[in-house]
Structure 1
Amino acid sequence: MVNPKETINIENVVASTGIGQELDLQSVAMDLEGADYDPEQFPGLVYRTQEPKSAALIFRSGKIVCTGAKSTDDVHQSLRIVFDKLRELNIQVEDDPEIIVQNIVTSADLGRNLNLNAIAIGLGLEKIEYEPEQFPGLVYRLEDPDVVALLFGSGKLVITGGKEPDDAKEAVDKIVTRLEELSLLD
């Protein structure tokens, strides 16, 4: 049986930063090759990096949200590219703007099918939401780490809300332990 922690895969890292000044996005969009800006569709300018792959959402306020990265290192590398591109446009960006990881989304596999009805009863209604007519997964809110896990009948998990990559490992450990305590894992 595969250790579920070995199946953990980072799907998306979302981080925020800022350059501390307002931007004329129309002007930036014209000068920044590859930028997408359609204020009627979305209030920010979208700039995609290829290596590593991510999207930076740049707002008029100077705030920037990076999404789509597969690791915290990729977030930092992508944002360094964005900062350098802005500097090339003579936009002042401090040497090392603070980058805050907002959300790490991971997937994992428990390696066996789950009886979500039994799990919903066993975990208690104050920590879970399970409405199979609305959504096929069981939503399980953990407190430590402060994440939300989506459990599916296939045994697959999605963990969201993490701030550190280790949050997913800790969450998987706690979920497996709890399900074993309830005799809901073979």
Structure 2
Amino acid sequence: MNTQLFIYCFKHFINMNGGKPEESLKIENIVASAKVTDFLDLPSLASQLKDAEYNKKRFPGVVLRMQDPKIAALVFGSGKVVLTGAKSIDSLSRGLQILGDQLRALKIDIPEHLSYKIQNIVTSADLGTPINLNKIAVGFNLDKIEYEPEQFPGLVYRLDDPKVVVLLFGSGKLIITGGKQPEDAKRAVQRILSELSNLGLI
């Protein structure tokens, strides 16, 4: 289990509100990449952009933190950008547009319309009822699950369609990661509900 994901679960997962599974779906983070140009002078960029951080010894890119929307843009010399922290597709699009505007203001040749590719969407959900992870571990496809409660309190379930990883907790709360579009999380929750129902576990 990824250590950062483990920490995320404990920090952000315990206080989720209950409700119907579909209504409880909440995007926690979207990570996307974009190519804005072929070359960027990072030292020059960092010195001219407000709220920019650049320490080549610690990280090979410029870190630009936006406040509205609250997104971090990781800008690399190759012209590649990684956006993280977005809570919606709209905020992701706005964040990329703002970055493009800032770079154009520095007389850098940036296309007017920038496109991005979503790399990962992390979504939280709540089944609304406690679940028995031990029984689920027995009932689900063993090749698709990881369950070692002495190391991590959740059950890891890897789906093929949609291609996501779902973390199930005994409280009935879920984290869906690996999605490429918001609908992936909804489909994953619906599939989990169906499989639990078929096994008589919900």
The 3-state SS of whatever aligns with 1:106 is strand
CA distance in 2, matches of 1:168, 1:64: 25
| Residue deviations 1:79-118 (CA, integer Å, cap 9, x gap) | 1000100111111111112211111110000111111111
CA distance in 1, matches of 2:192, 2:142: 16
The 3-state SS of whatever aligns with 1:50 is coil
| Residue deviations 1:36-69 (CA, integer Å, cap 9, x gap) | 1111111111111111110000011110010000
> Over aligned residue pairs, what C-alpha RMSD do you find?
1.1
Runs of 5+ unmatched residues, structure 2: 1-17
Matched, 1:89 2:89: no
Matched, 1:98 2:115: yes
**In the alignment, which residue of structure 2 is the partner of 1:54?**
71
CA distance in 2, matches of 1:111, 1:154: 8
How many Å apart are 1:124 and its aligned residue? 2.2
**In the alignment, which residue of structure 2 is the partner of 1:155?**
172
Runs of 5+ unmatched residues, structure 1: none
| Residue deviations 1:102-139 (CA, integer Å, cap 9, x gap) | 11110000111111111011002101111111211111
Give the structure-1-normalised TM-score: 0.96
CA distance in 2, matches of 1:116, 1:181: 15
AA at the equivalent of 1:12: N
AA at the equivalent of 2:86: A
Matched, 1:140 2:157: yes
The number of residues matched between the two structures is 185
**In the alignment, which residue of structure 2 is the partner of 1:182?**
199
CA distance in 1, matches of 2:120, 2:45: 27
AA at the equivalent of 2:183: D
Identity %: 57
Matched, 1:112 2:129: yes
Matched, 1:66 2:66: no
The 3-state SS of whatever aligns with 2:73 is strand
**In the alignment, which residue of structure 2 is the partner of 1:22?**
39
Give the structure-2-normalised TM-score: 0.89
| Residue deviations 1:122-181 (CA, integer Å, cap 9, x gap) | 002101111111211111011111111000111110001111111111110000000010
* Structure 1 segments (4+ residues) deviating >3 Å: none
CA distance in 2, matches of 1:20, 1:88: 14
